[in-house]
Structure 1
Amino acid sequence: MTKGKSSSSAADGASSSEQAKLAALSPFEFKDELIKAAGGGAVERPANSAMLNAGRGNPNFLATIPRHGFWQLGLFAMREAERSFAHMPEGVGGFPKRDGLTERFELFLRENRGVPGIDFLRGAVSYVRDQLGLSAGDFLYEMCEGILASNYPVPDRMLKLSEIIVGQYLRREMIGKHPFVGEFDVFAVEGGTAAMTYIFNTMRENRLIRAGDTIALGMPIFTPYIEIPRLNDYQLNVINLNAAVENNWQYSKAELDKLRDPKVKAFFLVNPSNPPSVRISDESLEQIADIVKERPDLILLTDDVYGTFADNFVSLFALAPKNTILVYSYSKYFGATGWRLGAIATHRDNVLDRLIAELPKDVKKELHGRYESITTEPDKLKFIDRLVADSRTVALNHTAGLSTPQQVQMVLFSLFSLMDTPDAYKCALKRLIRSRKRALYEEIGISFDDDDPNQVDYYTILDMEFLGERAHGREFVEWIKKNTQPSELLFRLAREARVVLLPGRGFGTPHPSGRVSLANLNESDYRLIGRAVRKLIEEYVERFNAATGKHLDKSKVK
């Protein structure tokens, strides 16, 4: 609350304990408080005034072609299922038949020529056969059985051909033209959040991290990476590697050198970052890879969900594959958050398996007992397969695995991208979100800078301290910090303009800031948000002038 003058902030009159409770909330729960403020304020608004929730990372766009393919494939699979038990009128079907499946599929394509999704399916089967060298019949059978959900996922880690195809997609999007020696395994999971849960848990169960151990986090970062290590389940010490807004959200050499400390067991990062949406520079990736050469026991986890929005993206997984766990989610790029599609990848020759093999005898004996019900050689069970088992508390390993219709949609998304050699879909999304960013900053009055090749722009951070100092000087920033509560600006935007942003500090940003998702609203909405932010800044400039006798130009934002 601003001293000396009432504010329409939802935090008005809040005690220090109430402020502390707000500060302790995850930004996603804090957002709910802002939504309440945006919907229940006393300020009169036009009847048609809608809340602009830019706090959600859920995109308002989605990939249509592979979805059309999914539904058409489902119709074909149903036709195949109904070939069995056709004598029964009660609606009983059976498994698809492998013999003649390819020929029947070709007939289905001809019968439905011109229907959305049909050409995509024709191309997908051709690509699988001609480019990947796989059996078209085997592929069609796996897809039909999968989309019908008529069997358990076999293998439980991922369907056989599906893993190959998703692996090719990850190679294209995460590795690109970078040299990569060896093969990697893929575990299909229920989105990136499930991947995080499984990885933390299996690392703990296999003593790769223990209570009191130290890990490093690349900050800012997706909030659960901050919150999980604090839980009683883990009780980890955390060292932050801070990317600075003044350095275009890149890590300095000094920050990355913290990884040289032998007590740091693992380094977790999101690349491109959340919320700044900036990919790690090539120089920083090389520095991390060099540190790994000095510290071959260092475990890396890179969460690269936004990598497909970047230009010429190369994952840390490409530079240090034997030390890196790759996490990828299809949710944002394909507009598929509701599908819950994610993947974990590990190199077949990796540090995790080596560290497990080097555990003390008593620990290995305990782990032998943990996994002996699922394999005759539990000591040789790979880390990624321990993930699968632990995801179903080991005892239910035989029913583990992502549901098969989800895997089918994941495969179709992957093939859609692999077949899009000119990257038409990717370029369209980049144009879309960058046009929204330009609209937002134009209305705030800040010049739009798109010269940084590492900017991805799925989100943008409005760092009030950084922008305020650049526009009006340090004295103005210090006055704001002294005379406002940390959450006041966000609550005022919510109540007075019905604009909801997420607090940047919940992601580990050093200054008061708001995360704006550029994915979930239309361009005109971002112009409205920009005007609301500008109006608020201008009001604080007026109040600063009145309080200090200064004469800052309120129209000057940059």
Structure 2
Amino acid sequence: MEKSRKSAAGDTSKLAALSPFELKDELIKAAGGSAVERPANLAMLNAGRGNPNFLATIPRHGFWQLGLFAMRESERSFAYMPEGVGGFPKRDGLSERFELFVRENKGTPGIDFLAGAVSYVRDQLGLSANDFLYEMCEGILASNYPVPDRMLKLSEIIVGQYLRREMIGKHPFVGEFDLFAVEGGTAAMTYIFNTMRENRLIKPGDRIALGMPIFTPYIEIPRLNDYELDVVNLNATVENNWQYSNEELDKLRDPTVKAFFLVNPSNPSSVKVSDDSLRYIADIVKERPDLILLTDDVYGTFADDFVSLFALAPHNTILVYSYSKYFGATGWRLGAIATHRDNVLDRLLAELPQDVKKVMHHRYESITTEPDQLKFIDRLVADSRTVALNHTAGLSTPQQVQMVLFSLFSLMDTPDAYKNALKRLIRNRKKALYDEIGISFEDTDPNQVDYYAVLDLEYLAERAYGREFVEWLLKNTAPTELLFRLAREARVVLLPGRGFGTMHPSGRVSLANLNESDYRQIGKAVRHMLSEHVDRYNSETGNTLDRNKTL
């Protein structure tokens, strides 16, 4: 038995260098599933990836009904041709024809939402209902290139209002910000890193800071030979409720640190940065006005009273937001990048040495007569299509339409009914998981978001059984071995917390993608495995730890 344990540990140790998301595929295989197909065998519980099993239905119904209306508008042109040829929608009388469409389809799912959305755009945002309907119809028909390429005109205004509500809230915010609609948060990351490099805002050997733990690609991208950045970690710890101490944040005072990248609320610990820490960072920025901040706030909409770092330090912060998790829309690939119109990036571009400016001038001169004045966010757009294809840049227009409908759904939901329902859903799942593991469920931390749960083995085991047991456990088991045991023996798939930069061996449980009964099964499996280790420890050391003790 001892030999087989060592053999298993040796086999799994070879996988330690893999990204958690690649290791997930190996864990799925160990659990008897397929890495390339969704498992048909429901006995396998895959809590590894954060793809939610819930989604927003009302704005989707609205999308399909809008598509039917747009098709009717298209077929008004070339009606004399029987071959199925349509045309662009007509602006004149569009609002009146939409009202007729609504009356004809009263009671159909999505119709009331669409009618309300048009009313909200007209009455609350002060925009032309006719112009809005035209942009939506042309967009959903996908009959034209995205114009403007950065984002459709009214779509940018509406999504901007949504981000103001969800990311800024009641916090004072002076000025306007620009948006670039992108293919989800992953595209945002790719574009930002690339444009910062192309414009010499970061170069090999430069130092950046990462708020750890963090979404794995933020750790992996700086290491690539494309960037070769020197990374300073700012560590939030489980002992400190996953918050950054002031001593960690003080690392940002180092003038050699050019940028700080943060996921807030964090992934995998799923805790939002405290108000005190946000203010502390904002105060550091006042001392270091050249510091570039990036905050990835995809989970912000699951938090209570969320305020983004973008609200407190808008001139220095790039905001990244994705619609994927909150609306259950990972397959849509919907995201946005926001920058204040008065921002440090444009100022740093203006301060580049003349020889670098000359190179940048040449890079962008084919798309503008004033390449030196091109804003950072517009360089993102151009670089996303290798500059030469700038004229075909932009997120597909049907994607932008769905993004707008998601935004309006949230803006119109003034009592936050949808948001509160999702919070109840994931927090009930967390309670089910914790109850079965034997972790006391204390939901008193206002910064907890609970999209994920991090099962920190070292922290929980020390709290329950003491440091001596922890030292024995770490000596006798590799972190990935525990994950593979869960996969092989209990058919439970979790992701390794170490891959996200956690300090201790841990497993990330997504609370979004399974049902409550499944989390109870996962909790039982984790508890059973831990109890086995306690029994083995007692047998080998002569101690008498209680295997059923609450963690």
Deviation, 1:431, is 0.2
Q: 1: distance between equivalents of 2:202 and 2:51?
A: 32
1:334 maps onto 2:327 in alignment: yes
Say which of 257, 270, 280 aligns to 2:273: 280
Number of residue-to-residue matches in the alignment:
546
Residues 1:225 and 2:218 aligned together: yes
Q: How far apart are the structure 2 equivalents of 1:486 and 1:94?
A: 60
| Aligned twin of 2:197 | 204
SS in 2 for 1:12: helix
Kept in 2, the 8 Å contact 1:305–1:330? The answer is: yes
Counterpart in the other structure of 1:12: 7
Matched, 1:177 2:170: yes
Choose from 90, 96, 109 the match for 2:102: 109
* Cα distance in 2, alignment partners of residues 366 and 227 from structure 1: 28
Q: Report percent identity of matched pairs.
A: 85
| Whole-angstrom CA distance in 2 between matches of 1:235 and 1:530 | 40
Instruction: Give the root-mean-square deviation of aligned CA atoms.
Output: 1.3
For 1:442, the aligned partner's letter is D
Q: TM-score, normalised by structure 1?
A: 0.97
1:253-268 equivalent positions in 2, closer than 5 A? 253-268=246-261
Give the match for residue 91 of structure 1: 84
- TM-score, normalised by the number of residues in structure 2: 0.98
How many Å separate the matches in 2 of 1:198 and 1:180? Answer: 26
1:54 to 37, 47, 55: 47
Structure 1 distance, partners of 2:528, 2:500, is 26
4+ residue runs over 6 A deviation: none
For the residue of structure 1 that corresponds to 2:53, the secondary structure is: coil
- Cα distance between partner residues in 2 of 1:12 and 1:160: 60
Matched residue of 2:2: which SS?
coil
Q: Distance in 1 between matches of 2:9 and 2:410?
A: 50
Aligned to 1:44: none
Whether 2:536 is the aligned partner of 1:543: answer yes
Question: What residue is the counterpart of 1:313 in the other structure?
Answer: 306
CA contact (8 A) 1:465 1:511 kept: yes
Q: Is the 8 A contact 1:211 1:235 kept in 2?
A: yes
Q: Structure 1 residues 427, 359: CA separation in 2 closer, same or farther (over 3 Å shift)?
A: same
Alignment check: 8 A CA contact 1:472 1:557 kept: no
Distance 1:369 1:557 in 2: 65
| Residue of 234, 237, 262 corresponding to 1:269 | 262
How far has the Cα of 1:237 moved from its partner?
0.3
Aligned to 1:76: 69
| Alpha-carbon displacement from aligned partner over 1:388-433 (angstroms, at most 9, x marks no partner) | 0000000000000000000000000000000000000000000000
Provide the residue aligned with 1:456 in structure 2: 449
Of 333, 341, 357, the residue aligned with 1:348 is: 341
Change (3 A) 1:162 1:40: closer
Shift of residue 449 of structure 1?
Answer: 1.2
Q: What are the within-5 Å matches in structure 2 for residues 107-506 of structure 1? A: 107-506=100-499
Query: Which whole-Å CA distance do the structure 1 matches of 2:116 and 2:55 have between them?
Result: 20
Q: Which amino acid aligns with 2:171?
A: H
Residue from 531, 534, 537 that aligns with 2:527: 534
Structure 2 Cα separation of the partners of residues 469 and 526 of structure 1: 23
> Is the 1:317–1:326 contact (alpha carbons within 8 Å) kept by the matching residues of 2?
yes
Distance in 1 of aligned mates of 2:303 and 2:57: 21
Query: Is the 8 Å Cα contact of residues 321 and 335 (structure 2) preserved in structure 1?
Result: yes
Output the CA distance in 1 between the equivalents of 2:266 and 2:470: 26
| Cα drift, residue 21 of structure 1 | 3.3
Write the letter of the residue equivalent to 1:156.
Answer: D
Residue 473 to residue 153, structure 1, CA distance change in 2 (3 Å): same
Residue 305 of structure 1 contacts residue 328 of structure 1 at CA under 8 Å; is this kept in 2? yes
2:57 aligns to what? 64
Q: Is the 8 A contact 1:149 1:405 kept in 2?
A: yes
Query: Equivalent residue of 2:439, what SS?
Result: coil
The superposition leaves residues 314-351 of structure 1 with CA deviations (integer Å, 9 ceiling, x where unpaired) of 00000000000000000000000000000000000000
For the residues of structure 2 that align with 1:207 and 1:95, how far apart are their CA atoms? Answer: 43
Partner amino acid for 2:146?
Answer: P
1:339-368 per-residue CA deviation (whole Å, 9 max, x = no partner) reads: 000000000000000000000000001000
TM superposition shift of 1:242: 0.2
